[in-house]
Amino acid sequence: MPASPVHPLLAENRARFGHRLAALRQSREWTQEQLAEASGFDRKTINRIENGRHSPSLDRVFVLADALGVAPLELFRWPES
C-alpha cells in the first residue's frame, strides 16, 4: 500500500511550531538542555522539534507548554508571514 501524500503545509507548520518553541525557550534564557530537563525530553529531540524535523504528540505538546509555563495554545501562536 503506498504511503499517503504529505499535506503541503506540514513541513511549514512543523517549522513554525519549532521556531515558536525556540522563541519561548529563548525568552526564558534557557538552553535546549534546560528545556529538555524541565520537560523530560532529551536535548536532541528538542533540537529536532525546533528544527522542524520532529513533530511531538499532542500529549508531549502539553508537557512542553507546562515546562515553559504557558498555555498549550501559545505554542501555536506564530506571526503570519
What is the per-residue pLDDT for 17? 97
pLDDT band at 78 (very low <50, low <70, confident <90, very high): confident
The mean-pLDDT minimum among 6-15, 31-40, 44-53, 58-67 falls in: 6-15
Q: What predicted TM-score, i.e. pTM, was given to this entire model? A: 0.88
Domain segments of the chain: what residues?
10-76
pLDDT band at 63 (very low <50, low <70, confident <90, very high): very high
How far is the C-alpha of 43 from the C-alpha of 49, rounded, in Å? 10
CATH of domain 10-76: 1.10.260.40
Residue range 58-68: average pLDDT? 98
pLDDT at 56 over 80: yes
Task: Please name the residues in contact with 74: beta carbons below 8 A apart, sequence gap of 6 or more.
Answer: 20, 24, 65, 68
